Structure 1
Amino acid sequence: MANSDQTQGGYRFLPLNALIFVLALLLLCKLSFTLFTKVAADEAYYWLWGQKLGWSYFDHPPLNAWVLGLSDQIFGTNIIGLRLPAVVTFAGTLYVMWLFAQRLFPTESKNSFLIMVVVFLASPTLFVWTTIVYHDHLMLFLCLAATYCFTDYFARFAEDRETDVKRLYLAALLLGLAGLTKYAAAFLGVSVALVVLTSASLRPLLLRPHIYLAGLLTFACMIPVLIWNMQNDWASFQLHLSDRYELNAFEGINAGTFARYLFSTALYFGVFLLIPLVGIIWPRRYQTSFAHVGVRLAQITILTSMAIFVVFAARGTVHWYWSDLAYALLIIFMPIFMRWAWLIWAHVVTGIVFIAYGLMTYAIVPVELYFGQNGLEVGRMYGWDQVVPKVERHLDQLGIEHVGGTLYVSAGQLAYYLDRADIYDFAAKESQFNYWDQKNIPAGEDALVVHDPFGDLDTAKQRFETLTLLERFNINLMGFDVLWYEIYLGENATPIDDELIKVLYAPKSRL
């Protein structure tokens, strides 16, 4: 890169061979994580969505479930069929990064591309969330692709108002599909609108029909979500905007959830990324319209999303990974203003340590057990090779058909490992099972009930005349008991009103 470019961006390129070596190591770790780590509880839950296709779902929009259902039909119920969609979307994400590198650093695109990918993969959350099939793998790919297309069109329009509008409509379609994957894509949509409104060179778009037609295209992609919510009393929107939080708006501050969000966000994305997170907001001049518009779009997305999550974290639990789009956009534009090579290497080294820990914990044994810590949350991923044969044996011996878990995630895991979609969730907590009418089995019938430390056995007991313990066993890994399971026989089902259960178990602040 020319000296003027380096002076303007303050960016020093790193040795190519070192970057290639680190990238190869990270990709090997990613392949290992894909093939050898246990299926996460929510992965199994989302796999079940793919077996029961619908307009949308209680927890999230439907596109990821549709993709998982298609992959399962083609490749079967196995780790390849489950996680191949994440491999494909990560390949798409790499391609988008390459497009950004070519536009931002045309003379040093290879080096800047490698920087983006290495920093991205060394962020523990982005590494994992583009490997497992939570909705984020698809949302991130679509949002980054949409960001590129919006940036490209806006930059061209700023220089030539008669530029081709095809890229604008492609951007709108990609944004709509991202919204059809996860609601967090709305932050990018809001940011696009704010970029247009706050930029003198882009405000003329408001006098033309294309920006509004593009908006309609984005909105049209969300029609399945709107149909589902209209049919189900806006349940999904209410969940994300209200029901999942312990406090009402303006009621006070939940210091615990607030602190956990800040700490876990910094730790699991990479503490060294806090420096560029501040740096991207710092005013500076950019050499091209593409860089100027792209950074502005990233800045607004980062500020709006993280500000809202900070506010919501003061009301109740907000998971750190909800900020993944903000960090992904940060990394895309970080090579423009990153000044210190040591910071990149520090991020890479700490990231590899976290990733190695994750590989050990999720593929072999929860590492925290060696330090006397409770590994229950991770432990629920293990032992299904022991649970399923016991369940099948009891079903066969007792001659009964129905089986369920005492929480939606254990019900999802049962469904995945038994490879059947007619599994019940006997817990009080609302889940997608409510909308499949798979909370109560038919009156008078019997069922097996699989329970673990996270489950809601009390509500399960209410659904049967009698609930008898058949078997209790521990899942032991390398001498450590990581979890226990209980299998019950529920006899003479007595269905209960789950609408009443939802009221009884509502947070106290809402009673």
Structure 2
Amino acid sequence: MQGEQRARTIFLTLWTLITAVKLVIAARLPLFVDEAFYWQEGQHLAMAYSDLPGLTAWLTRLGVELGGAHVLAVRLPFLAIGAVLPWMVSRIATRWFGAVAGWQAGSLTLLMPLSATLGMLAVPDVPMALAAVLCLDAGARLLRSVDAAAAMKLALGLMIGALSHYRFIGVIGVGLIALLVLPQGRRMLRDPRVWVALALGVLAWLPLLAWNADNHDAGLKFQVVERHPWDFQWSGLWFLVIQPVLVTPILCVAMWKVALAGTRSGGGARAQWRYFGLVGAVSTVAIFLLGFFTDVERISFHWPLPGYLALLVAVPVVLNGWPRWLRRTGWWLAGVGLTLAFGYYLMASTPALREQLAGDKYYPRNFAGWKPLADVVREELRQMPEGTRVLAGNFKVGAELGFQLRDPRIEVLPHPLNDKHGRTAQLVQWGLLHQGERGTPLLLVLSPSDQRYRDLLERYHQVCEQVGPLPPPRVVSQDHGYQRFLLFRLPAQRAEGPCVSPAMAWMDTPQFGAQVQGTVEVRGWAFKDGVGLSKVELLLDGKPAGTVTYGRPYDITGFWKISNDPQHPNVGFDAQLDTTGLAPGKHWLGLRLHGNDGSVETWQEQAVIVR
């Protein structure tokens, strides 16, 4: 009884503290771009969408209906699901392995970083995890004896999963494999009540199938074919490396012990042990193997979570058989992992901390800069004629600005990103993909940070083809330019002429992070298609820092073949930077580019370390 009481107290304490921290972070953290698009989908209620079934969008709509247009309200239904899941895992473990193991399984669900952070973002993995746990619980109960209550729980889980994500098909497949391996599972599958539950689960896929039938299978093609290379890629090894970090090493080993136990035969309660192990093992192994062939550019580290939740149910039994020091180390490592995960989200939600990661590959750009951008957009709209419409450069900008401006109908330019993320068909269905019509003034908002630099000039020329030559932009720069937006006032009538694009530049020396002292030579190039540059200013920590000589010969047309700057090849610049009076440490070196059309554009900065 003392052990049970202690385990229960630990669980309740962890649940209270972690839930409170998640609420605080979720209220501060700006919407991730996918969350913003799910909010936009929720404002256009439908049975299914181009990228997902309907449930995620419905939940975002429920949140804002209950709590208003606030990030916390958008995430509130997902936070509620995330708060319930540890209780569900605890209850399953209690039923099969006792109360102490049950509370411990719930505590581990609260501590494992992948499951602990669940619900802080409004993403489809949250309801999908709920569906997976419901099916897991129902399957374990049905292995013992088939009854109507367990069958209905299975049907509920299958229906929620079908409304959550295409990937839930994999969860269904894994569950069926596990049941077919077990004699009790094969016997269970002969019961008609189970087949009624399966039939209800199948019916829940009909809205998604109907959407694909009406839209040339656009969603299915994207999820199954277009987003994955389906060629072997060694980068899939990174997936194997990162998983032990995300679930913490000792906990990872314990879960694999449960998975191995699932391959051994036995009777009685051992059937449920094998069931949990088989579901977890088949799921994680399949996803690890798929990692060598599927999409590695977008976030996919959360895919094994349903399998991990199955394994966590039995992990306390494994841990309790280990030496005390090893058990404690496992618990503490899980706590450290959780702290680091929360720390990352807190950093992303705090501008002063987020700025410190500018230029780093872990810089959370998709969370950054949306509110300042919206403030500038409102200011620009007040100064433009009545009836001016906002035009976004891609779906990310359209969705994020839509949330900030409370306008889910912002038009979007055609962009490869819309295709890459499976959103083009949805924008077309809403009538929000810009077709070149004008009639009223437009405020065009571009996000050059969303484009690979080597493709940026080509993208600018595509925009010129879509809307005409671009006037001088207003620059909105965040975190030293690592999140950067350009705003253009486009008149009601399209201008004609050669492409005039935003300026582009590069610093050859000093390089990012270079250690410098004394007088430093700064060299590079800069150009502006259509009109050219009149001068280049050197900035240090945002202030002018010396005279720049612009216009020396520097032929860059070998790479930028489509560039039409009239001043080619004289686009090089040189400057001398005196660092003798600067405090040692990191400083930010930048450029201010002056166009012959009167434009003034600040360029992305790069860090130098003064010794």
TM-score, normalised relative to structure 2: 0.70
Superposed CA offset, 1:344-401 (max 9, x none): 3233232133134224312214757546742685134233232112112222322243
Alignment match, 2:332: 346
Q: SS state of the match for residue 474, structure 1?
A: strand
Pick closer, same or farther for the CA change 1:276–1:365 going to 2, 3 Å: farther
Superposed CA offset, 1:443-487 (max 9, x none): 1334222222115545433321233243012224xxx55422111
Alignment match, 1:86: 78
Alignment match, 1:225: 208
Q: Does 1:213 align with 2:205?
A: no
Deviation at 1:254, TM superposition (A): 1.6
Alignment match, 1:497: none
The answer to which of 23-32 and 328-337 deviates more is 23-32
Superposed CA offset, 1:141-160 (max 9, x none): 12212211221122224xxx
Give the conservation status (yes or no) of the 8 Å contact 1:450–1:485.
Answer: yes
**Which whole-Å CA distance do the structure 1 matches of 2:416 and 2:338 have between them?**
40
**Which whole-Å CA distance do the structure 2 matches of 1:71 and 1:19 have between them?**
27
Alignment match, 2:438: 444
**Which whole-Å CA distance do the structure 1 matches of 2:86 and 2:407 have between them?**
35
Alignment match, 2:116: 127
Aligned 1:245-284 pairs, distance under 5 A: 245=228, 247=229, 249=230, 251=231, 253-256=232-235, 258-283=236-261
Superposed CA offset, 1:211-242 (max 9, x none): 32222110001111111111111121211211
Give the conservation status (yes or no) of the 8 Å contact 2:90–2:104.
Answer: no
Alignment match, 1:419: 406
TM-score, normalised relative to structure 1: 0.82
Alignment match, 2:313: 332
Q: Does 1:435 align with 2:435?
A: no
Give the conservation status (yes or no) of the 8 Å contact 1:376–1:483.
Answer: no
Q: Does 1:60 align with 2:56?
A: no
The answer to which of 87-96 and 212-221 deviates more is 87-96
What amino acid sits opposite 2:241 in the alignment?
F
Aligned 1:336-415 pairs, distance under 5 A: 336-338=317-319, 339=322, 340-365=326-351, 367=353, 370=356, 373-374=359-360, 377-399=363-385, 400-415=387-402
**Which whole-Å CA distance do the structure 2 matches of 1:405 and 1:330 have between them?**
44
Alignment match, 1:96: 88
Count of residue pairs brought into register by the alignment: 469
Gaps (5+ residues) in structure 1?
Answer: 3-10, 158-163, 495-511
Q: Does 1:153 align with 2:145?
A: no
The answer to which of 304-313 and 182-191 deviates more is 304-313
Gaps (5+ residues) in structure 2?
Answer: 452-458, 496-611
Deviation at 1:416, TM superposition (A): 0.7
Larger Rg: 2
**Which whole-Å CA distance do the structure 2 matches of 1:411 and 1:56 have between them?**
20
Superposed CA offset, 1:172-219 (max 9, x none): 222121121112222231133223322223323444433322221100
What amino acid sits opposite 2:442 in the alignment?
A
Give the conservation status (yes or no) of the 8 Å contact 1:441–1:493.
Answer: no
**Which whole-Å CA distance do the structure 1 matches of 2:364 and 2:52 have between them?**
23
Alignment match, 1:501: none
Q: Does 1:172 align with 2:155?
A: yes
By percentage of residues, which structure has more helix? Answer: 1
Pick closer, same or farther for the CA change 1:125–1:283 going to 2, 3 Å: closer
Select which of 462, 465, 469 maps to 2:465.
462
Give the conservation status (yes or no) of the 8 Å contact 1:142–1:175.
Answer: yes
Pick closer, same or farther for the CA change 1:117–1:404 going to 2, 3 Å: farther
What amino acid sits opposite 2:486 in the alignment?
E
By percentage of residues, which structure has more strand? Answer: 2
What amino acid sits opposite 2:67 in the alignment?
F
**Which whole-Å CA distance do the structure 2 matches of 1:96 and 1:330 have between them?**
14
**Which whole-Å CA distance do the structure 2 matches of 1:372 and 1:12 have between them?**
47
Give the structure, 1 or 2, with the largest relative contact order (CA under 8 Å, sep 6 or more). 1
Deviation at 1:62, TM superposition (A): 1.1
The answer to which of 258-267 and 281-290 deviates more is 281-290
Give the conservation status (yes or no) of the 8 Å contact 1:71–1:82.
Answer: yes
Give the conservation status (yes or no) of the 8 Å contact 2:25–2:346.
Answer: no
Alignment match, 1:187: 170
